[in-house]
Amino acid sequence: MPIEEWDHLQARSPLCNGCQKLFADKEDYHTALSLTPEGYRRRDLCQTCWSATERANAVSYWQGTFQVPPPPKPEALKKEDAESLLRKFIDSKDPGHANARYILAIMLERKRTLRHRDTTEQDGQKVLIYEHARTGETFLVPDPRLRLDQLEAVQTEVSALLAPPPPLTPVEQALASAEKETNAAADSAPVAEENPPPSDAEPPASQP
């Protein structure tokens, strides 16, 4: 199976894939990933449905605590730049994004947006398995085995992508052009000084 076809996202199920009961807030769950001809298959199970057989059949598994997702906060949008970029790169399936995906996943792990759940191996390549702390989605990120000297270049590349200049609003555009005009006026001031006014135009010295 080509790598581009299985590094997709799979959301955590809101209910147990065994007994179909909705997970309660703070309930412990078990997640098992198994490899099927169609790709990775994810099963989320409650404590009761989890069994040694499920575990034995899994290529990877982890435990978590279910959290009822909080309503999104408006300010959360700004923080999701690295996350939305990672989602974009995973969706794009472009192998050229492998390095950036890896760096973004590590960044998001440091920010505790993603939790590293396991590391598995596929066709001799290490694959990091992450779970989104808030939504419970699975992110499969192949480890591109970057050398130290490559790491810095990729980090620079990713930082450049993360801080794009926001497009100017019409008001900002107006302010920017007004500022330009002010600067232009200021620039012309030194030119005027090259032709000093006659000395009699100078203010009279104050008398004691």
Binding site for Zn ion (CB under 5 A): 16, 18-19, 46, 49
* 47 or 159: CB nearest Zn ion: 47
- Residue 45 C-beta: closest distance to Zn ion, Å: 6
- Residue 19 C-beta: closest distance to Zn ion, Å: 3
Helices (H), the chain: 52-57, 76-79, 81-92, 98-110, 148-162, 170-193
- Residue 24, both tokens: 């309660």
In which residue are the tokens 């959360």 written? 76
- Residue 26 C-beta: closest distance to Zn ion, Å: 16
Burial class of residue 166 (count of CB atoms within 10 Å of its CB; 0-12, 13-18, 19+): exposed
CA separation for the pair 43, 96 (Å, rounded)? 30
* 15 or 176: CB nearest Zn ion: 15
* 18 or 95: CB nearest Zn ion: 18
- Residue 197, both tokens: 């006014």
Element housing 40 (H / E): strand 39-46
- Residue 43 C-beta: closest distance to Zn ion, Å: 10
If we measure between CA atoms, which residue out of 46, 43, 51, 41 comes closest to residue 13? 43
- Residue 38 C-beta: closest distance to Zn ion, Å: 23
Buried b (16+ CB within 10 A) or exposed e, 174-193: eeeeeeeeeeeeeeeeeeee
- Residue 48 C-beta: closest distance to Zn ion, Å: 5
* 15 or 76: CB nearest Zn ion: 15
* 64 or 144: CB nearest Zn ion: 64
* 19 or 178: CB nearest Zn ion: 19
Pairing of strands 138-142, 28-36: unpaired
